[in-house]
Structure 1
Amino acid sequence: MYIPRYFKVTNVEEIWEFVREHAFGTIVTTKQGKPIATHLPLQFTKEEDTYYITGHIAYGNPQWRTLETCEAVLVMFQGPHAYISSSWYKQENVPTWNYQAVHVYGKASILNEEELKQDLTMLLQKYEKHRENPVLWDTLSPQLLEKELKGIVGFKMKVQEVQAADKLSQNRKDEDYQNIVSKLYEEKDMDSQQMAQLMERSFKKDK
């Protein structure tokens, strides 16, 4: 991913926190030179000094068969994004787009059944534990679980390279920056509202 120096993120903890918060990612592999992509809920784990991305894919999805044959697997995570009009700058310029993105490269392997069960248990715990009637691994019938397990394939990707970008108008003067935030709040779409909030928090953190 091309990242100008203004927008490059190098803080490891900040990157992994972003991955945890935007865990619905896109996994990309290749088959005979053709890219294949699937959108999946993913999890981030750390074992000693090694980072991993885990998840599961439908057995009927042929992409899982490419996971171990690819030299490198790419997983992409995306945060808020919004159109930035150059009419919001004090001086003439061209429009652009603000966004957050993380690209993770690594080598993938297929989980065995026990590893897949552990990963699914963690996934349910993450998204269900706070609910009034949580659907957890232990609350589901063995018959249902056995049936569903036959329909998915779990995988684990060892992280080898990470690229992260926060393009939040950091290259603009404070006056322009604050005006961009104000104008984004005036936009009607949720993405622009989220970007305004993100830029506001980022500005305060850097001051």
Structure 2
Amino acid sequence: MFIPKYYKITDMKEIKEFIKMNSFATIVAISKGRPVASHVPLLLNQDQDDYYLTGHLAYGNPLWKTFEETDQLLTIFNGPHAYISSSWYEQENVPTWNYQAVHIYGKASIMEGKELEQDLSKLLEKYEKFRENPVLWEKLSPEMLQKEIKGIKGFKIKVEEVQAAYKLSQNRNSSDYANIIKELYQEDDPHASAVAEAMKKNRND
């Protein structure tokens, strides 16, 4: 990913939080010389100094069959994004687009047995625990779980390279920056409002 110096993020703590909040990722692999992709919720796990992305695919999804032949997958996490009009600047300029994104490269391997069950349990915990009637692993029947597990392939991707970009108008002066935030809030668009929030946080950090 091309990242100008203004926008490069290297703080792993911040990147981990971004992935946690934007965990529905796009996984890209190469199959027979052609790019293939799937969209999957992932968890970021740490094992001592190593990081792993974990998730699962439907058994019928051919992406998992590329894991052995693919040295590195590309996993993309996208955050909020919004059009930035140059009419919001003090001086004449061209419009642009603000966004947040993280790219992760790594080798994937299949995850089975107890390791897969633990990962599925953690995934349910993340998305269900705050609900009124949470559907957690221990509440589901073992018979149903074993039947459903047969229909998926679990996997983990060892994180080998991380590229993170927050393009949030960091190159603009304070007046333009404040005006961009104000205008984004007035766009009546949840993506634009989320970018405004990210800009406020970025300038305050």
Q: Does 1:142 align with 2:142?
A: yes
Question: Distance in 1 between the 2:68 and 2:51 partners?
Answer: 18
Q: What residue in structure 1 maps to residue 151 of structure 2? A: 151
Per the TM alignment, residue 72 of structure 1 is displaced from its structure 2 partner at its CA by 0.4
CA distance in 2, matches of 1:33, 1:188: 42
In the alignment, which residue of structure 1 is the partner of 2:204? 204
How far off its partner does 1:129 sit? 1.4
Matching residue of 2:178: 178
1:115 and 2:115 are equivalent in the alignment:
yes
SS state at 1:10 partner: coil
State the number of aligned residues. Answer: 205
Deviations 1:74-130 (Å, cap 9, x if unpaired)?
A: 111011100000010111111100000000000110012221111101101111112
User: What is the aligned partner in structure 2 of residue 28 from structure 1?
Assistant: 28
Q: Counterpart of 2:72?
A: 72
TM-score, scaled relative to structure 1:
0.97
Alignment of 1:3 with 2:16, yes or no, is: no
Q: For residue 105 of structure 2, what is the aligned residue in structure 1?
A: 105
User: What amino acid is aligned across from residue 23 of structure 1 in structure 2?
Assistant: S
Q: Letter of the 1:97 partner, please give it.
A: W
Q: CA RMSD in A?
A: 0.8
Q: Distance in 2 between matches of 1:144 and 1:135?
A: 13
**4+ residue runs over 6 A deviation:** none
1:12-51 to structure 2, matched below 5 A, reads 12-51=12-51
Q: Which residue of 2 aligns with 1:192?
A: 192
Greater Cα offset, 136-145 or 75-84: 136-145
